[in-house]
Amino acid sequence: MELHSDGDSIVFFRHSDVVATGDIFRTDSYPVIDIPKGGNIEGIIDGLNRVLDLAVPAHHEEGGTYIVPGHGRICDEFDVLEYRDMVTIIRDRIQAMIKKGMTLAQVKAARPTRDYDPRYGAASGSWTTDMFVEAVYRSLAPQR
């Protein structure tokens, strides 16, 4: 399973009830999808679902599983669930735009991430919102 690149790892520390997610989950931006190294949006979602399978909710165990993201604060299962849902919604939006025949430029102009940008978006830096949208588009668009 390719997640964000060809070198991803999810580590579950069973006795400590801690999951280290690497960069498939982060609290400071959209997930990085390294297309040239085999990453894709479906791999990100699959990885997030795997983390959710490993995690124990707080109401089943004192405190629940601690989730250590690739970047950002320590989280719990609910944080990963919200993030997975956000990524899935954006994937579905972009997939629908591709099915309508929209180009990458048109998809970017439509701003499919608009409602999540205040929390995860970036106009500059090493991973921008435009880069994320382009990576999702390239993951889903048929090769031309």
How many domains does the chain contain in total? 1
User: Could you list the residue range(s) of the whole structural domain that residue 16 is in?
Assistant: 11-140
Residue 2 within any structural domain of the chain: no
In a domain, 5, yes or no: no
Q: Where do we find the tokens 């954006």?
A: 90
pLDDT the model gives residue 14: 78
Per-residue pLDDT at 45? 96
pLDDT digits (tens, 9 = 90+) for 2-52: 444 445 678 888 778 899 998 899 999 999 999 988 889 999 999 999 999
pTM across the whole model: 0.87
- Residue 126 within any structural domain of the chain: yes
**75, part of any domain:** yes
Question: Residue 90 falls within a domain, yes or no?
Answer: yes
pLDDT band at 142 (very low <50, low <70, confident <90, very high): confident
How large is the C-alpha radius of gyration of the chain?
15
Angle between the 41-54 and 77-99 helix axes, to the nearest 10 degrees?
160
Contact 55, 67 (CB under 8 A): yes
38 occurs within a structural domain: yes
Tokens, residue 49: 């679902």
DSSP 62: T
Q: Report the pLDDT value the prediction gives residue 2, as an integer from 0 to 100.
A: 40
Q: Give the per-residue pLDDT at 79.
A: 93
